[in-house]
Structure 1
Amino acid sequence: MKHFSTKNIIIIGILSALSFILMLINVPLPFFPPFLKIDIADIPAYIGFALFGGGVGFLIIILKIVLYAIIAASEPIGPIGNLLASISFLVPIYLIYRNKKTNKSLITGILVGTLVLTVILSLLNYFVLLPLYGMIIDQRDIVENLKTLITVGIIPFNIVKGLLVGAVIYLVHIKIIPVLRNITEKNTRL
């Protein structure tokens, strides 16, 4: 088991809080249903994956969702969807990059993560999330129009989201991760 210095534990806490704050800053994209909003809350979790490994990346995602569920959520479906989206997007990026640490593998990871995000969220939204959401807010039209909503809303939105967030991850990885890695590895080898 890895031993984390107090400094690294503080960095993990800051990344978790930052991820939660970034989740609150979300923007709807034109031409998509208004409940589909993009945020960059996965960036701090990606930093956790890159600096400390998979366990810390998962921890940051979970802490973000728990904070959001306690403080800001009005229903449980959104936080559950966000949790599953973050995991389905970030885990492929982490696993592909971890095995071969090159810019090409990072780009491959982002593309695979976008594909996995799109497929998993399309299936989950079709069979579970949107039907539950439709029942909670009493919107029968959501349930009656699932195929259309998935085809013209969920699928293109997740592709756009994956590519936009992936572009930010790439820039963060090139410019910020080396600096943060230097800070976290001083005095403590992980």
Structure 2
Amino acid sequence: MVLTAMLAGLAGALMSLEFSLPMMPPFYKIDFSDVPSIIALFSLGPVSAVLVEVIKLIVKVVTVGTNTDYVGELANLLGIVLFILPTWFVYKKMNKTTKL
């Protein structure tokens, strides 16, 4: 639980370091805030990865607010869940373990 909270805090901090893509609409932004959720996915499982994302979005809404009436945050959550779950299923299908 503590590792999930720490990764969510890191993701919230990384989300504030986003930047726009040149010659693209201003709502296309690059940020590296999904990396902690991938770390949580492989180390703790898919539930923890989704919780990292949910907490990250709550931190963003509380600190920065929203200018999309929560549509952008919902799309971000849906996009990362649609990235996390197939990644987890492929990882489990390959029978990879964290043993050295």
TM-score bracket relative to the smaller structure:
0.7 to 0.9
**Which structure has the bigger radius of gyration?**
1
> How far apart are residue 56 of structure 1 and its match?
0.8
Using the size of structure 1 for normalisation, the TM-score is 0.46
Mark the runs of 5 or more structure 2 residues left unpaired by the alignment: none
> 1:86-125 to 2 correspondence within 5 Å?
86-101=80-95
Per-residue displacement from partner, 1:75-99 (whole Å, max 9, x unpaired)? 3222112111211222211221122
Identical columns (%): 26
Using the size of structure 2 for normalisation, the TM-score is 0.83
Contact 1:73 1:79 in 2 (8 A): no
Residue 78 in 1 paired to residue 72 in 2?
yes
Runs of 4+ displaced beyond 2 Å? none
Per-residue displacement from partner, 1:59-78 (whole Å, max 9, x unpaired)? 11111111111221233222
Contact 2:37 2:52 in 1 (8 A): yes
Residue 59 in 1 paired to residue 51 in 2?
yes
Higher helix fraction (1 or 2): 1
Per-residue displacement from partner, 1:103-139 (whole Å, max 9, x unpaired)? xxxxxxxxxxxxxxxxxxxxxxxxxxxxxxxxxxxxx
Mapped to 1, the partners of 2:95 and 2:37 lie a distance apart of 18
> 1:1-190 to 2 correspondence within 5 Å?
9-75=1-67, 76-101=70-95
Contact 2:8 2:55 in 1 (8 A): yes
Mapped to 1, the partners of 2:78 and 2:65 lie a distance apart of 16
Quick one: which amino acid aligns to residue 75 of structure 2? G
**Root-mean-square deviation (CA), in Å?**
2.0
Mark the runs of 5 or more structure 1 residues left unpaired by the alignment: 1-8, 103-177, 183-190
